[in-house]
Every structure is written in C-alpha cells, then in structure tokens.
Amino acid sequence: MSGRPFIPGLALGRMLYEEAARPIIEGIVPSASYAAALIGYGSDVMGFDSERSTDHNWGPRFQVFLSADVAAACAGLLDEALRKGLPHLFHGFETSFSEPDPMDNGTQMPDPGGADGVNHLIEITTIDECLRRYLGRDMRTPFSLTDWLVLPDERLLELTAGAVFHDPRGELAAVRAALSDCPRDVWVYKLACQWRRIAQQESFVGRCAEAGDVMGMHVVTARIVRDCMKLAFLQDRAYAPYEKWLGSAFARLRSSAALSPLLTDALQARDFRDIERSLTGAYGMLAEMQNALGITGRIDPAPRMFFGRPYQVIQADRFANALLGAIASEELRAITVRIGAIDQFIDSPDYIENVAMYEKTRVLFR
C-alpha cells in the first residue's frame, strides 16, 4: 500500500481531464467535436474502488469519444500528443502502465514510463466502438424486446455508471439515458422470472433440514438470499453488478436498510426455524414492495405452509404468474420457458465477457 492519499478513480479521472489532458486534447480536436467520460470496466466506475484497487488496471484514466471521421483522422495524433504531454506522475499516481499481459486477461500494471513518454490509460474511441465492445451492437438499429433479454445487467451498468466530464452535443448522454432503463414489459417479465426462481427453491430449505442435510440447507439459503437481492434490484429498476460488488451495491438500494438484517440473519443462522423466520420476513417485505409497484392487483404477502408440509414459504409463483399476466407484449408472452433475461440463469464470466455469445443466445427466447 502506498503512503500517498487515496483519491477515488472517478475524481482522479475528472482531475486528469480538467487539469492535464483537456488542453492537450483541444490542441488536436475542437472542444465541440468530442466527449470525455469514465465509464466501462472497473470498481472506480461504480465508486467501489479503494487503495487496494491501485495495484492493477486502475489509475488516472478516462475515455475520449470522437466521431468516426475525426477518429480516423486524429486518433493517432491525439494518442501521441497525450503520450508526450501528460506528466509521469499526477497527484502522486503514475499515468504510465505496462502493456496488457496476454497471459493475465490483459492486466496492466503501473509503470514509471520512459523518456519517450507515458503509456497512458486514456482510451480514444467512438461511441459505436464502445457499444460494440460492451454489448456487441450499436444503437443505430432499435432494440427489440428480446434484444434487451440477451444484454447482461453487468454490461448495461458499466455503460450507465461512472461520470461524463464533457459532452457538448449530448450524444453520450443520450445513449446512456437510452440504456439506463429497459422497456416496461421487459422489466415486468424479469420481475416475474425472478419470483419464479424463488418459487423453485423456497421449500428446499425446510426439506434439506428435515432430511438432516445441514450443508444443503445453507447452500439453498444462500441461493435464495442472492435471488432476493437480485429481486430488490429489479424492483428498484437498478442494474446489478457482478458478484464482487453485489453486496456493496445492494447496500445502496432504498430497500436495503430493511432487507439486509433479515437476509444477513438467514445466512448466519444455524437453526432451520431461525432461517425460516428470516426468509419469510424478507419475502413479506419484497411482496409488499411488489404490491406497491402497482403492476398487478394486491397479492397477500403473508407466508403459508408448503402444501401442508411443516415449513413456511411465500408461494412466490403467485407473484410470478400475476406479473406474467400483466405483460402486454406478444413477443414476450410467447416465451414459453420462463427463464428470464440471460443473466438470470447464466452467471459465468466467460459468457458475460464474450459479447459474441449474446446474439447466439437469442434462440433461447424464440
């Protein structure tokens, strides 16, 4: 760990742009012809970075977005000007980095740089290139409802989190606004399928306990807690990040103050009845929040026995079925297997990070 004061990456990126990079950029391209922002990968984009983050793929950085014709004419000149013009140290942080390590997922480490300039982390790109990198498509063709189902929340969050530093024509802001919220029927479909996930597992905690399978009981409990957290993100119309930051982002939701103690108790409890009490309490809160959204008629949030067996559930299918009935889109109503959007049933990073797979998975929703 360094002794220098830590500066969060979003603030550091803005400072680099304003204090050091902007004069260099505008010596090459006019102020009105580019946008600058820090979006995309990284804990800094979501505001979860710390001193620990500074050891790799983190530093004074941002993106410069040019139009396609300006990029073709000026990207190389701009890159070279930044290499020569940026300081090697900026507020105590190195601006130069190693080349991407092909054996370590392209990891880049802070590097002192040399006399020929700095190997900076300022990405020079276009909005379309950025969208193709993160989503496998651009915005020139309108999204169908099924298109939304193959785009992982994690990727949509990366494009809509962070901060815009300069956007005189508003083009970047317009793209971010368009991606920040899915259409109403897609949202309702995802809510229904998330309740369905809970319905598929809610009785298993009691059944595992009854069978003496303590490990299985805790595994199922953890799965249900994760699904409850994901449901809370959906109810808040917020994109969920990948696992490392799921709890941190959940803590920012409006419902977290009430839900977190119950979900934490469920994870920490050793006795089935204590787990059951915490989970049914969480189910009841989620049910009341679902009712408050006004998508369906009111559904009784009280727990009940699972087909006469001695363990309580919410019977989450009641919510799933009611929500499915509130979908107007024939395109979505025609999906017979209620699996939800792609990251409601696939969470492998090898899938999420391979944008070429997104289009291939459309067949699952036919």
* pLDDT tens string 115-173: 789 999 999 999 999 999 999 999 988 999 999 999 999 999 999 999 999 999 999 99
User: Residue 116 has what pLDDT?
Assistant: 83
Residue position matching structure tokens 């815009």: 164
Long-range contacts: 129-135, Cβ < 8 Å, 24+?
130/39, 130/40, 130/63, 130/65, 130/159, 131/159, 131/175, 132/355, 133/355, 134/40, 134/158, 134/159, 134/355, 135/159, 135/355, 135/358
CB 119 within 8 A of CB 83: yes
CA distances from 361 to 114, 193, 197, 329 (A): 46, 17, 20, 20
Report domain extents, the chain. 9-179, 184-334
CB 231 within 8 A of CB 240: no
User: Residue 324 has what pLDDT?
Assistant: 97
User: Residue 336 has what pLDDT?
Assistant: 86
- Which fold does the domain 184-334 belong to in CATH? Four Helix Bundle (Hemerythrin (Met), subunit A) (1.20.120)
CA distances from 292 to 182, 189, 190, 251 (A): 20, 17, 17, 21
Q: Give CA–CA dist 317/89, Å, rounded.
A: 57
Tally of CB atoms within 10 A around 229: 21
Segments in the chain below pLDDT 50: none
Side-chain-facing half-sphere of 225: CA atoms under 13 Å: 25
For the chain, helix (H) and strand (E) counts, in that order, are 18, 8
pTM of this structure: 0.94
User: Residue 114 has what pLDDT?
Assistant: 72
For residue 313, count CB atoms less than 10 angstroms from its CB and return exposed for 0-12, middle for 13-18, buried for 19 or more: buried
Q: Residue type at 280?
A: T
Residue position matching structure tokens 């998975």: 361
User: Residue 365 has what pLDDT?
Assistant: 87
CB 284 within 8 A of CB 233: no
DSSP character at residue 162: S
DSSP character at residue 20: I
User: Residue 225 has what pLDDT?
Assistant: 98
